[in-house]
Structure 1
């Protein structure tokens, strides 16, 4: 990767871009899907379209994502498509070579450092939440108000404590 070893940087950043969970989701989604467009990512994750579009723009500026050229797309390239071939009616994105290498380098150690840098004990909380039905079923030491605020801020839970679709997809795509 250009710019040296990114693991020496803060775990939640990539060449100056502060990686938010939505950025991580877009990267993981594109790794799984091959190519896709913002509206479909927003629909699947139930996040606002503007949030996904901003994340894609940030990732393009960082060189991790690029536009996919061409007028038609085959299912072999866009793995979430149901039709064999579709004509593009949206702006499709895909991982750049650097983005592909970065996503491949994400392992459990990187995820632990990433979530712990988001908020104290983040990795432990994310793993526990992935296993629990909702926030209220977390162990008592992980149900503090500050943790709840962080989970709400990052859109991991709803105000009533249920896991969001975004969170479920994020942990599935990252194999947490």
Structure 2
């Protein structure tokens, strides 16, 4: 499969499967980490383990990630590990070849379409949120109505009090942008 096929699909979907921000985060995380396990992905992102494991199951099912075979992981393969080599006590995951190609096809244009499909005026709202301390400051830059705010909460981009979540910061920065 080449990158062209993934570009022709609607942003936010892969072979008809709608990708949520948590799916996108897991893919981008595995691209940077090489291999990692669910508990660590959850710890770094600040998301509940159940949400991460559900996302991993979805991504396994559609073939974007795969289980990493073997009984040990070297640091050259798991870039976030501190030890030179560790024995596996968890199930490690990595991007499949299809996953590599898909993640490679994600660029700013794709992300704009993705966020615009996700929420109303999505790219503008998400960019304003990334450049702000919280949703109140972002609301001074761009109109954020109650429905959009609720959607940002459901997506785990902001807390109940309107602060940006660690998950949102990591998703935004791992996408190649700098958050405030």
Normalised TM-score (structure 1): 0.96
Q: How does 1:4-15 map to 2 (within 5 A)?
A: 5-15=5-15
Distance 1:49 1:70 in 2: 23
Distance 2:91 2:151 in 1: 32
Query: Equivalent residue for 1:37?
Result: 37
Distance 2:79 2:143 in 1: 37
Partner-residue secondary structure (3-state), 2:81: coil
Residue 146 in 1 paired to residue 147 in 2? yes
Distance 1:3 1:126 in 2: 26
Query: Equivalent residue for 1:52?
Result: 52
Query: Equivalent residue for 1:70?
Result: 70
- Report how far residue 2 of structure 1 moved: 6.8
Calculate the aligned-residue CA RMSD, in Å. Answer: 1.4
Query: Equivalent residue for 2:128?
Result: 128
Query: Equivalent residue for 1:159?
Result: 160
The 1:132–1:166 alpha-carbon spacing in structure 2 relative to 1, beyond 3 Å, is same
- Would the aligned equivalents of 1:3 and 1:15 in 2 still touch at CA under 8 Å? no
Give CA deviations for 1:95-142 in whole Å, capped at 9, x if unaligned.
001100100110000000000000111111111111101111114343
- Report how far residue 175 of structure 1 moved: 1.2
- Report how far residue 12 of structure 1 moved: 1.3
Unpaired stretches in structure 2, ≥5 consecutive residues: none
Distance 2:49 2:36 in 1: 13
Query: Equivalent residue for 1:116?
Result: 116
Unpaired stretches in structure 1, ≥5 consecutive residues: none
Distance 1:2 1:21 in 2: 23
Give CA deviations for 1:82-106 in whole Å, capped at 9, x if unaligned.
1111100000000001100100110
- Would the aligned equivalents of 1:26 and 1:56 in 2 still touch at CA under 8 Å? yes
